[in-house]
Structure 1
Amino acid sequence: MNYKTFKIAGLVMAATLCFSSCTKNFEDINKNPYGSTDEELAADFALVPALLQQAQRSIYLYQPAPTFQLQQNLLSDIYSGYMMSPTPFGGNINNITYSFVDGWINTTFSTGYTNVMNPCYKVAGFTKGKVPDSYAMSLIVKVEAMHRTSDIFGPIIYSKYNTPNGDGSVDYDSQKDVYYTFFEELKTAIDILTPLADKPSSELFKKSDLVYGGNYKQWLQFANTLRLRLALRIVNVDAAKAKLEGEAALANAGGLLQTYKDNFTVDIGSTTHPLNTICGSWGDILMGAPIGTYLGGYNDPRLPLYFKKAVDPAVKDRYIGIRNGINIDGKARYADYSKLMDLPGKLQLVTAAEAWFLKAEAAIRGWAGAGNAQTNYETGIQTSFNQYSLGSASTYYNNATSLPAEYIDPKAMTAGQNDIKKGSQYLSTITIKWEEGVTLDRKLERIITQKWIANFPEGQEAWSEFRRTGYPKLFPVVVNNSGGKVSTTDFVRRAPFPSNEYSTNGAAVAKAVSTLSEPKDVGGTHLWWDPKK
């Protein structure tokens, strides 16, 4: 799709899906789409499964594909190092080169509110104090979706959602406050599900569940894993709270996600995965250069399961990606570099492999209940191998010599974009085999690098972890169109709030910006959990 088509698609989506700021038109946004009144449907909770299914399918919005493209693909998927677009949208002046397209960012901001926050808010109203298991699901899904929104923007409207002030404005929570609320809500959900873990689920819960078929224990394991993920997210800024929440997750009797069969993947049936559309019929997303250098250098057997070989004559039969933020004169230049392999009808959000890597990091930090770091690390790799039916991972995780490969692009328009050679500060020297007698930071790089490989293609989490840890090492943009708002060497740290929020909720946005680490609503401002070093 070209830039003009994106504009048209945005208008169509706005008209058909009523995407708008959560601070406007609350009555319309909350209007029941099924014809009956909420009171009539609430009587037998007939609306609950439909709302919870909508919310699950919209964490990583699967349909329509243009909305997902703006929600995540032309932002987090690219900043993560997983993917890159061959299409020079807007004359190559867009999110990828750090010049944020306001219309794109408005969709990024609003999708979580319209498609997840709103239905979960309604379900909570129906079920709180009446149907505890469904209430717990609504809290877990809401946290999983909205922590992603917060990890893009920082402060978000959360505890005051649907509670406008007298002037119609709606207050934001600072990122610290919203994370503390996430932990409270996860604790509530975990406390509800813990005594239910080994019991058969209710029919209402089964009907609502697109992930685990109504299995309480797996939902409990997912909630614990999510709690540990968010605990580690804040470890650099609030170490005591991080340890408290992380150890609580590790201590819960339900445990974390264990095997790949526990992966939190949302079933979308026969519907085409949005990445298949964006990569296949549109040709707007391909392999990113960084992941190609890691998988290729490590001789990783997941490489041909993630990507296809290039067909461009200049790189034919090679696995090669496109470097982020480079000069691109036209789509044809890179259209035949490595494409993504087609993905199944499931949206992968959290894997059991990630849970093991979270435990590995908790272990090197000395958290109670985390176990042995090396065992967790190697189990994480093996769990990812099991997910792809690759057999034993022992040869791979005992490889102490392989390193990420250099990146040379034979079709580069700018000489400076071929600087990822041996000795470059952006080319990692991390090997695969666990080393015990090294620094915590060296252990962390090894853990995060393998977690990043295992989590593909979930770019939102990958970008968040890169900002938190600096790992895996990625390549800086060559073309920076931010006008000094984003440092090339510091990388992009967040997205600015869209103009629609300023026009409809300006005073609240200004107050929210004041809670950022630097009171500037720009892409270079670090989030609360990402303090500037």
Structure 2
Amino acid sequence: MNFKSYKKIGLVLTAALLSFSSCTKNFEEINKNPYGSTDADLQGDFALVAAQLQQAQRSIYLYLPVPDFQLQQNLLGDVFSGYMMSATPFAGNSNNLSYNLLDGWTSAAWRIAYSNVMNPCYKASNYSKSKFPETYAMSQILKVEAMHRISDIYGPIIYTKYNQPNADGTVDLDSQKDAYYAFFADLKEAIDILTPIKDQQQSVLFGKADLVYGGKYIQWLKFANTLRLRLALRVVNIDPTKAKTEGEAALANAGGLLADGTADNFLVDIGATTHPLNTINDSWGDIRMGAPAESIMGGYNDPRLPKFFQAATDPAVAGLFKGIRNGINIDAKERYLKYSKLAIFQSKIQLMTAAEGWFLKAEAGIRGWAKAGDPQTNYQSGIQASFDQYKLGSAATYYNNSTAKPNEYKDPKAITAGQNDILTGSPYLSTITIKWDAAATFNQQLERIITQKWIANYPEGEEAWSEFRRTGYPKLFPVVINNSNGAISTTDFVRRAIFPSNEYATNAGAIQKAIATLTPQKDVGGTHLWWDPIK
């Protein structure tokens, strides 16, 4: 791959891309312990089990090495979600961002999930199940959190057949439906373990393993319940009965959901290590604010805007919060380099917020699910929880604003004048206001909920991309340049990533069976996932 315009990081990223093929060549080997520890080692010192679970927590949203994170998360979900866009014209400006899905890029999430999360969770759970059931519960929760993300990227995945090779050495994938049913079963098992001990003192092993809550069972129970509700709503368009059953079970559990915007957020501590987005944004200059973030948050005059982004320094837009539209003609990195940088992140990796818990309840409420509570109260509480997270005080003025709408987007530096603009009347420019309206249609209420959840979930782009595919909200801007050769519709947006080439090389029979579960049966970026039926 030739990154001629890419200076400092170009050689590093290119080397990383070229090395990916060797990283996933032998899937059966990946199914085994990569750390070299035997079962006897683990039994002799359970600190090794804690290290396995810490590794899993730190790798769901990878923080090191940064080139791997850039491909696992940033040039995938972060960009497809509308949060961010790169100023760098990688590979001659024909890459994921313009819908030419590059195997070296899209394979990273798969490789990292199996080697860095599924593997250590598998080892830790085998040791813990009979000896430390609460730590076994943690491993199950982490496994589901990681692997639902992978399923939401690719569709079918290796899950229930993990470490169970066939006679020919292949490993079968679950259809996405089967994977999701297994997620629900694993979450229920973990929740059933943690519920009766939720208020007890944690075990030494659990405390050592926990990089988020300091070993509190109740907090992990809240996280598991909220994750269960998230996944229940994910399948609501294709399997409403299962969605309602799982969602109501999560809502009814005595542990509750994540709710406190200062204490409940699922933030993984990465110590003194800098957040990977800081490196990509500030040191490398490879990521900037996305155009939808400018339009939506700018139109709402959202006080979180300066908490998320920095003002542009380009003379054409100096002092403004200015984003880059996805999939546009970029001739050189310098064209958009001085558009809005991201704000600096603390050394915490955000996987779920308390605000999301409230927005999930709000959606469950408009769907009439038991124990969901009042949608308006939940919606406003979600906004307040997000404000609390950023120490912004009362959100009442904001959530009672009945007039503010997303702004038009204009790009003064477009190579072709007006080519990148999204103006009033465009179907891609939302007209939704902030204030709750009990008399609004279901879709209007859903758009309000998802738009505010999208803001609150920043910068976690994988989840935001999934929710956009599920609901169509918030309204995002389509690419201007589509290099998919017809594999992805410009107006339908990208729906999934393609399976890694190394899976075709080493697990071909299983991959072909997995493709047969897709509709249509094509391994392309325009194929909808099971939970994302064509509307």
The reply to whether TM is greater than 0.5 is: yes
Q: What is the match of residue 127 of structure 1?
A: 128
2:210 corresponding residue in structure 1: 209
Q: 1:26 to 1:278 in 2, by over 3 A?
A: closer
* 8 Å CA contact retained: 1:13, 1:67: no
Tell me the CA shift for residue 20 of structure 1: 1.5
Correspondence list, 1:102-181, <5 A: 102-181=103-182
Partner Cα separation in structure 1 for residue 458 and residue 47 of structure 2: 36
1:6 is aligned, of 8, 13, 19, to: 13
Alignment of 1:26-425 (within 5 A): 26=30, 29-33=32-36, 37-260=38-261, 261-415=263-417, 417-425=419-427
Task: Kindly provide the amino acid, as one letter, of the partner of residue 238 in structure 1.
Answer: D
Structure 1: gaps spanning 5 or more residues: none
User: What's the secondary structure of 2:527's corresponding residue?
Assistant: coil
Query: In 2 relative to 1, CA 26–91 (structure 1 residues): closer, same or farther, beyond 3 Å?
Result: closer
Of residues 101-110 and 164-173 in structure 1, the stretch that sits farther from structure 2 once superposed is 101-110
Contact 1:289 1:320 in 2 (8 A): yes
SS in 2 for 1:386: helix
Cα distance between partner residues in 1 of 2:109 and 2:54:
20
The answer as to 2:16 corresponding to 1:23 is no
Q: Which stretch has the larger CA shift, 41-50 or 501-510?
A: 41-50
SS of residue matched to 2:178: helix
SS in 2 for 1:418: coil
Q: What amino acid is aligned across from residue 207 of structure 1 in structure 2?
A: K
Deviation, structure 1 residue 10: 3.3
C-alpha change, 1:173 and 1:409, in structure 2 (3 Å) is same
Contact 1:355 1:380 in 2 (8 A): yes
RMSD across aligned positions (CA): 1.3
Counterpart-to-counterpart distance in 2, 1:13 and 1:509: 18
Cα distance in 2 for partners of 1:13, 1:216 equals: 38
Q: CA deviation at 1:4?
A: 5.1
Q: Deviations over 1:1-59 (max 9, x none)?
A: 565542212346777xxx315724247x52434xx533133234231100000000001
Whether the aligned pair in 1 keeps the contact of 2:77 and 2:461 (CA below 8 Å) is yes
How far has the Cα of 1:462 moved from its partner? Answer: 0.2
Q: Say whether the 8 Å CA contact 1:492–1:524 is kept in structure 2.
A: yes
Assess, with a 3 A threshold, how the Cα gap between structure 1 residues 26 and 387 changes in structure 2: closer, same or farther: closer
| Structure 1 stretch displaced more, 93-102 or 358-367 | 93-102
How many angstroms apart in 2 are the aligned matches of 1:387 and 1:108? 28
Name the residue aligned to 1:494: 496
Q: Report percent identity of matched pairs.
A: 67
Q: Distance in 2 between matches of 1:169 and 1:508?
A: 6
1:393 CA drift (Å): 0.5
TM-score, scaled relative to structure 2: 0.97
Q: C-alpha distance in 1, partners of 2:21/2:131?
A: 35
* TM-score with structure 1 setting the length: 0.97
Residue 325 of structure 1 deviates from its aligned partner by 0.3
Task: Describe the superposition over 1:306-326 as per-residue Cα deviations: whole angstroms up to 9, x where unpaired.
Answer: 000000111111100000000
Residue 414 of structure 1 and its aligned partner are, at CA, apart by 2.9
Quote how far apart the aligned CAs of 1:108 are.
1.9
SS in 2 for 1:348: strand
Whole-angstrom distance in 2 between the partners of 1:31 and 1:301: 45
- Secondary structure of the structure 2 residue equivalent to 1:262: coil
1:67 to partner: Cα distance: 0.5
Summarize the Cα distance change of 1:220–1:21 in structure 2 as closer, same or farther, 3 Å threshold.
Answer: farther
1:447 is aligned to 2:461: no
Of stretches 406-415 and 51-60 in structure 1, the one that deviates more from structure 2 is 406-415
Whole-angstrom distance in 2 between the partners of 1:221 and 1:25 = 35
3-state SS of the aligned residue for 1:75? helix
Distance 1:437 1:315 in 2: 39
State the one-letter code of the partner of 1:435. D
- Measure the CA separation in 1 of the matches of 2:429 and 2:181: 36
SS at match of 2:268: strand
SS of the counterpart of 2:196? helix
Provide the residue aligned with 1:503 in structure 2: 505
1:482 equivalent among 476, 481, 484: 484
Q: Is the 8 A contact 2:386 2:456 kept in 1?
A: yes
SS of equivalent to 2:137: helix
Instruction: Report how many residues are paired.
Output: 527
Letter in 2 for 1:402: A
